[in-house]
Amino acid sequence: MRKSPLFIFFLLFLAFFQVGCENVSPEDLDDNAARDLRSARRPIGAAAREILSSQHFQSLQLEIQYMVGFEPTPGLVDNIREFLEELTNKPGGIDIYLTAIAPGRQESYSIADIRAIEDANRSSYNQGRKVGLYLLILDGYSAEDTGGSFTFGLVHRSNSIALFGRRMRENSDTVGRPSRSLLENTVTRHEIGHLMGLVNVGSDMVEPHEDPNHGGHCDNSSCLMYWAVETAGLLNVIDGGFIPPLDENCRNDIRANGGR
């Protein structure tokens, strides 16, 4: 089935955790915008090879900005650096840094809100031989939330991720729920996987393994990129205290697109 040019990938809670997808319209770009800004506003998957390979970019910089009061858990930076080093070819190294921004003090944030906040605060863009990624942690909920489901995180541009920090905090570190660190790291890895073109969204499949009923996700229920990794798979995370790994099919797709 032909895909829309832009995907948004959600981690949903629906009486249990799920992953879903939704389409949004491409952004209108100002013809006078700087090249790095235009690059940052491309559809999801468009930067997959740039992120994975050393062909165009030798190094990678991930900027993590959080609204005051929603600083990520200790260890997230090291955990994500390890994940990126394992999968990307960046001989010039990987740099990750944290900065705080003013709280938005909104109950919920739309895609337009998230993009406006990013555009006003982001500083890490593609520059020279460095590819720039951006992760924003918000102090509210997604405007897409309904009574029966809600969103933990999403990707909305070729190298942009947003996490809903308040939603994560409310659904972790209690009986029957994962630790916030585990939830935060799992969501972030999953969303980075989408930026890397998984599954079949910027990184072509070596072997067919896209879930036919949940586009952009792996058909292996044990894989990080499985659509329902946050449902039954979450029980294993809670019991074993580990983040679901990428399966071999997803890893092969990454290698075929210039990654490790």
What pLDDT, in 10s, does the model give residues 160-213?
999 999 998 988 888 878 889 998 999 999 999 999 999 999 999 999 999 999
Region 15-32 average pLDDT: 38
Residue 37 has what pLDDT?
A: 82
85 CB burial (10 A radius; 0-12, 13-18, 19+):
middle
Question: Is 141 in contact with 109 (CB distance < 8 Å)?
Answer: yes
CA distance 154 to 214: 15
Q: Which domains does the chain have, with CATH numbers?
A: 7-256 (3.40.390.10)
Q: What is the pTM of this model?
A: 0.86
- CB-CB neighbours of 79 under 10 Å: 18
